[in-house]
A and B are shown apart, each in its own frame.
Chain A
Amino acid sequence: MAPVIQKKKSVASKDDIQKDFMEAINLSISSYKSQVRNNKKLRLIDIFATMLVVIGVFQTAFVGLIQDNYPFNAFLAGFIICVGQFVLLMCLRLQLTHPFEGISKSKAFGEFVVASLILHFTCLHFIN
């Protein structure tokens, strides 16, 4: 919460938009770095999420390359598993950094695992 307030202040004090923007980016990067520096679990999640994005991009690139989406259900299954897994990871990450009230982290993790399993089954079913 604290970095956000700081950012607002800097908007008020600086005129140059670009400078302001750079500062904001630097700030977010540094706050992100500080968040991740000592938390290996977040690092684990972020790298996994990045990989999912890369796989999704590769699949889309493949469709673009062959100019045909013929087994469209297969493409959707492949793409949806990436997107779905990404979303679930983000949910988990959110609950790790800012846990919801009354839901412990281990419960959040259990839910993540069950949801992921359902997602995998759905995608395997859908790809035929």
Chain B
Amino acid sequence: MKFLKSVTLLTTAISCASAFIIKDAKLTFQDETREAMELGELDEAYRSTELAPFQIKDTEEVIGFKFKLDLSKSKSKEIPEQLSLLVGIPGKNLEVPIVPKVKDSSKNNKIKLVSFKVDLSTLPKSILHYALSQGPETNEITATLIIANEKKNLARKEVNLKFPAFHLEFTNLTKKLYQDDFEMPLRYGKKEELAHTFPPAPKTADPTISLLFAGIVLMVNMFLYMYWINFDAISFVNMPSGKDFLPFLGFIGSIIGCELIFASYYLGTGIFETINCLAIVAPVGLILGTKFLRNFTQRI
């Protein structure tokens, strides 16, 4: 009998090798349409199962995580030295610790009532950024519960606890609606390559259109002479002759000369050469022109 008793004692000691016992774990949501989630006892079986993430609709959601911590089987009856919930994305090294409120149970002072409050809106923007990004990789928010004591305060078979208590995932709609104002912190590194964009080359019209229009303009010139003749605007009655003829010839010649000099300037002659030529042609034209016009003034 005594032997049997000792055996049962031994087996219970092995079965609850970890002496931190977490009972009546419960998840509550601020969302009133959502019922509180009973997780029950967070024993070895719970910890070893793969947990499906809870879908969260609201980025302002506040999640309460409560449980009873039974210390009756552990060596130290005090609140464990490390009791915190790491909330974040462990894969990206982004986690914030959340400190619980701890109360003694009214019935039994070996049982502590632990409650964590996870306010999603107060999480760092970096965590929300990755948790709410719409990319192919889904980053769920993991809440890792840590309960630990110093070695001297642990019983011989007692083990410190660290396990993911629950996961949260935002719904696709929330992800779509989320206004992400997270900015990557400044870090040294390769920057985006840049290249100057040149303005597009000016379009040149089809040369045939240009030629057509140039032709039309020259045609207009032909029309000019036609109309001059047509409207009887030209006559050579007044053609200078006799002593007026030579100055007249010089006058017209110097005008044509000037225009030719301009044309050669346009075609590439330097400005100094042009000025030199003009310095010869222009005074001659001016003198002859004045002389001619003075004599001719009665007939203009």
Contacts and interface: CB of A to CB of B under 8 A. Distances in A.
Q: Are A and B interaction partners?
A: yes
Interface in B231-255: 231-235, 255
A40 B258 CA distance: 27
Interface string B262-275: 11011000000000
B202 A70 contact: yes
Interface string A39-64: 01001100110110011001100100
Contacts of B290: 110
B255 A106 contact: no
Nearest to B282: A117
B205 interface: yes
A18 to B, nearest CB: 31
A65 to B, nearest CB: 7
B34 interface: no
B259 A47 contact: no
A127 interface: yes
B51 interface: no
B259 A70 contact: no
Nearest to A120: B262
B296 A47 contact: no
Given A47-B227, A124-B266, A106 B235 contact: no
A110 B289 contact: yes
Interface residues of B, number: 34
The secondary-structure label for the interface of chain B is: helix
Contacts of B293: 106-107, 109-110
The secondary-structure label for the interface of chain A is: helix
Given A58-B213, A70-B203, A121-B262, A44 B233 contact: yes
Given A47-B227, A106-B297, A110-B293, A62 B234 contact: no
Nearest to B204: A70
A47 B203 contact: no
B233 A55 contact: no
Interface stretch (B1-9, B10-18, B105-113, B214-222): B214-222
A59 B214 CA distance: 9
A105 B296 CA distance: 10
Given A68-B205, A70-B203, A125-B265, A55 B217 contact: yes
Sort A-B residue pairs by CB-CB distance and give the 7 closest, nearest first.
A106-B297, A70-B202, A66-B205, A43-B233, A106-B293, A51-B224, A44-B233
Given A40-B233, A124-B265, 18 more contacts: A44-B233, A51-B221, A51-B227, A54-B220, A55-B220, A59-B217, A65-B205, A67-B203, A68-B205, A70-B204, A105-B300, A106-B293, A106-B294, A109-B293, A109-B300, A110-B293, A121-B265, A124-B263
